[in-house]
């Protein structure tokens, strides 16, 4: 173990974050620290930047606790849980590119399901059975109703979505087998934005898949124009509508979910979204305002598998956790731009 600080020396509860150096994991690391927890990262850096660890240290003012390794290494995870006296785990590690999962399905099944299997095994073996899991609105497939409530039927439109769905089922199965599990399944809508310091944010390797990183790169002049996929959806302006949620709100949702489990709340599944949908063209306009830069765009054919609209009913999360997303689309764009502009310097 690279970590020499004895577990519990800080008086804070130790929380393991698999994939904690990634986009959502790193923001949640900061939120946990600020809420009085001691986050401990496990990351293999296959899709994250080790420089994030220094940035986290800058934000929190304390050395970042991190173990380099894979969640698929059951022995390592079990040892980490024991040595670091981990009280709960947040499982962020996983691949998330929808298109890539269609092209390379086995990579997704192996990594996302193998990682979950290994983690559940290690947690069960170590009697550390409090888990917060990163699920996704993708488990609603083509949603049968709007806004989407947690009891909407689940389905999938990609191998990536299928892995999220199966992971949810794996969690349900271990829970059924043993009453010792306390789990929170968090179904994210569209996470965007960055920490207001501009020190951490989303840094996709290669060409981004998601709208906001692409819009930011167009505004920065790194790409000539945005392709707007589809102009004839059944939405107010014909472009796709999504529930964009600021990553800072999402991070606070994780803290609220963890706190609920630690105070004895029974296991739950909740949507983490704002409840508001924005179209692609609304996002483009908001980004132009926030950045002061033009975002040239042109219409392109629909992207395969895209649905017209997807937005949450976030009422259950508010009821159970007392949590609600607060940040506006303008803030999401401003913080994304600050991060993107920092990458250019
Ligand atoms: N879009 C464009 N041009 C682009 C990229 C995206 O017009 O270059 C549009 C899409 O068509 C869609 C919207 O922007 O209408 C958002 O697209 P994203 O790719 O950013 O996000 P998705 O809603 O397709 O997918 C996201 C996550 C998935 C998750 C899903 C859950 O990427 O991991 O939300 O609903 F499964």
Concatenate the DSSP letters of all residues of 174-205 into one string.
Answer: HHHH-TT-EEEEEEE-EEE---TTSSS----S
Query: 340 with 219: CB under 8 angstroms?
Result: yes
**Residue of 47, 206, 211, 285 to mutate, ligand 1, most atoms within 8 A of C-beta:** 211
Please state whether beta strands 241-242 and 278-279 pair in parallel, antiparallel, or not at all (unpaired): antiparallel
Nearest CA owner, ligand 1 atom 6 = 211
pLDDT, mean over the chain: 95
**Residue of 189, 280, 284 to mutate, ligand 1, most atoms within 8 A of C-beta:** 280
User: Can you read off the two tokens belonging to residue 225?
Assistant: 């124009």
Q: Give residue 325 CA to ligand 1 midpoint distance, Å.
A: 20
Answer whether residue 70 shows pLDDT above 60. yes
**Residue of 95, 160, 240 to mutate, ligand 1, most atoms within 8 A of C-beta:** 240
**pLDDT per residue over 107-121, tens digit each?**
999 999 999 999 999
0.75 exceeded by pTM: yes
Q: Give residue 278 CA to ligand 1 midpoint distance, Å.
A: 12
Task: Give the confidence band of 7 by pLDDT, cuts at 50, 70, 90.
Answer: very low
Pocket of ligand 1 (CB under 6 A): 96, 98, 136-138, 190, 209-211, 214, 226-229, 240, 242, 280, 303, 306, 310
Distance CA 129, CA 180 (A): 6
**pLDDT per residue over 224-258, tens digit each?**
999 999 999 999 999 999 999 999 999 999 999 99
Q: Give residue 135 CA to ligand 1 midpoint distance, Å.
A: 16
Residues assigned a catalytic role: 160
Atom of ligand 1 nearest to the CA of 241: 15
In the chain the domains, ranked by start, together with CATH numbers, are 14-194+244-273 (3.40.50.720)
Per-residue pLDDT at 5: 40
Atom of ligand 1 nearest to the CA of 279: 15
User: Can you read off the two tokens belonging to residue 136?
Assistant: 């996704």
Per-residue pLDDT at 330: 98
**pLDDT per residue over 175-224, tens digit each?**
999 999 999 999 999 999 999 999 999 987 788 989 999 999 999 999 99
Q: Please, what sign has the CA dihedral across residues 286, 289, 295, 297?
A: positive
The average pLDDT across 94-109 equals 95
Q: Give residue 209 CA to ligand 1 midpoint distance, Å.
A: 7
Q: Give residue 181 CA to ligand 1 midpoint distance, Å.
A: 33
Atom of ligand 1 nearest to the CA of 233: 15
Atom of ligand 1 nearest to the CA of 209: 19
Sort 341 into a burial class: Cβ within 10 Å, 0-12 / 13-18 / 19+: middle
Atom of ligand 1 nearest to the CA of 283: 14
Task: Give the confidence band of 144 by pLDDT, cuts at 50, 70, 90.
Answer: confident
Nearest CA owner, ligand 1 atom 33 = 96
Residue 140: DSSP 8-state = B
Helix (H/G/I), strand (E/B), else coil: 65 = coil
Nearest CA owner, ligand 1 atom 21 = 210
Answer whether residue 1 shows pLDDT above 80. no
Please report where in the chains the tokens 């691949």 appear, as a residue: 95
**Residue of 242, 250, 302 to mutate, ligand 1, most atoms within 8 A of C-beta:** 242
Nearest CA owner, ligand 1 atom 1 = 211
Per-residue pLDDT at 8: 52
Task: For residue 307, count other CB atoms closer than 10 A to its CB.
Answer: 14
Per-residue pLDDT at 6: 40
């Amino acid at each position: 173990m690279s970590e020499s600080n004895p577990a519990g020396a800080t008086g804070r509860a130790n929380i393991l974050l698999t994939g904690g150096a990634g986009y959502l994991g790193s923001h949640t690391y900061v939120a946990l620290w600020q809420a009085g927890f001691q986050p401990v990262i496990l990351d293999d850096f296959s899709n994250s930047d080790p420089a994030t660890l220094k940035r986290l240290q800058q934000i929190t003012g304390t050395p970042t606790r991190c173990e380099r390794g894979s969640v698929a290494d059951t022995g390592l995870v079990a040892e980490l849980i024991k040595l670091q006296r981990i009280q709960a785990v947040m499982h962020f590690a996983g691949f998330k590119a929808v298109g890539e999962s269609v092209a390379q399905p086995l990579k997704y099944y192996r990594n996302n399901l193998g990682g979950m299997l290994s983690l559940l095994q290690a947690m069960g073996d170590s009697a550390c059975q409090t888990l917060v899991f990163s699920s996704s609105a993708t488990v609603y497939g083509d949603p049968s109703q709007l806004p989407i409530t947690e009891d909407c039927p689940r389905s999938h439109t990609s191998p990536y979505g299928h892995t999220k769905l199966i992971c949810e089922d794996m969690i349900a199965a271990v829970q059924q087998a043993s009453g010792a599990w306390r789990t929170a399944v968090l179904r994210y809508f569209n996470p965007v934005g960055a920490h207001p310091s501009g020190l951490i944010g989303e840094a996709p390797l290669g060409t981004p898949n998601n709208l906001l990183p692409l819009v930011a790169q167009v505004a920065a002049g790194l790409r000539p124009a945005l392709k707007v996929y589809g102009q004839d959806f059944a939405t107010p302006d014909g472009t796709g509508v999504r529930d964009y949620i600021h990553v800072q709100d999402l991070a606070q949702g994780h803290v609220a979910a963890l706190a609920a489990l630690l105070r004895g709340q029974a296991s739950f599944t909740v949507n983490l979204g704002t409840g508001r949908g924005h179209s692609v063209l609304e996002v483009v306009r908001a980004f132009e305002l926030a950045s002061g830069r033009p975002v040239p765009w042109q219409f392109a054919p629909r992207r395969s598998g895209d649905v017209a609209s997807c937005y949450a009913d976030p009422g259950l999360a508010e009821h159970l956790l007392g949590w609600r997303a607060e940040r506006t689309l303008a803030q999401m764009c401003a913080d994304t731009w600050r991060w993107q502009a920092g990458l250019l310097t």
